[in-house]
Amino acid sequence: MTETKPVADSPAKAHHWINDQESDSEQEVGLVPHNRGYKLKRWATSDEQHSGNKLRATKSITEEAELIKDGKKHTVVKRKRRSVDEASDEEDPYTDINIEEILSPIETPTDIIQRPSLRRILKSRQIDALAGTAMEFIEGEKNFNKILCRLSSILHEDDPQYLDLHLNDHPNQDTNGTDEEKKEDPAELLRTVKDLLLENINYSNEYLSKLQGARDRLTKARLQKDALYLELRQQAAEQRRYHHKQ
């Protein structure tokens, strides 16, 4: 009994069947990172070349041109240019920016107040904000420094509200305590606390000095900036009056 072998499909049918299978898988998965089955053929039309191939730009954003070189015709695909009518200033936020005006060098000092980007620097309130922040830090550190100084005066028995407090008078130690407790000397412990407290007060005073110096420099810079802005405005007004007279 002879077996009947299935008749093999023609290469063209197999090729179309592979394309159909890949197109179905592309719809499910998405972008296919290969061009299997979509290689360009000389006899293929434009629609057959680009239909279903997600590695190529869609026809809505591309245009084709034929290039004839050495007697051979080549199809060139390039991105479409947006027409002038379709362009809109609202879509481009950088339309009104004049790069030449921003990057051109300053010829006269009065150019500073005539250019918005430079005038904004002189009119900025950032230095005032920094000076205000420094003042807040100074006030907070002063309050902390007062607490440390008050505690130091109490430990040194200099506070008028705690004159009856005698820290040097120690009660009799309990003889049943451990050896570590017996070795602790209250006078030595009080001396250590006073030294550490004095050290923290010195650190706080140094921190206050640095903050005050920074705030003074910020205030000086603000005053100089305001004076410079007024001086440049006066010079610009004088130049305008001079040009009007001529």
**Residues in CB range of 163: below 8 A, 6 or more apart:** 157
Over 50: is that where the pLDDT of 194 sits?
yes
Instruction: Please check whether residue 207 is in contact with residue 145, taking contact to mean a CB–CB distance below 8 angstroms.
Output: no
Out of 74-78, 126-130, 210-214, least confident range: 74-78
For residue 59, what are the CA distances in angstroms to 20, 25, 54, 64, 87? 20, 21, 11, 9, 20
Q: Helices 126-155 and 186-245, interaxial angle, to 10°?
A: 160
pLDDT confidence of residue 132: 94
Instruction: Please check whether residue 62 is in contact with residue 78, taking contact to mean a CB–CB distance below 8 angstroms.
Output: yes
pTM: 0.52
Q: How far apart are CA 53 and CA 47, in angstroms?
A: 11
User: Which phi and psi angles does 65 have, rounded to 5°?
Assistant: -140, 145
CA 195 to mean position of chain CA atoms: 45
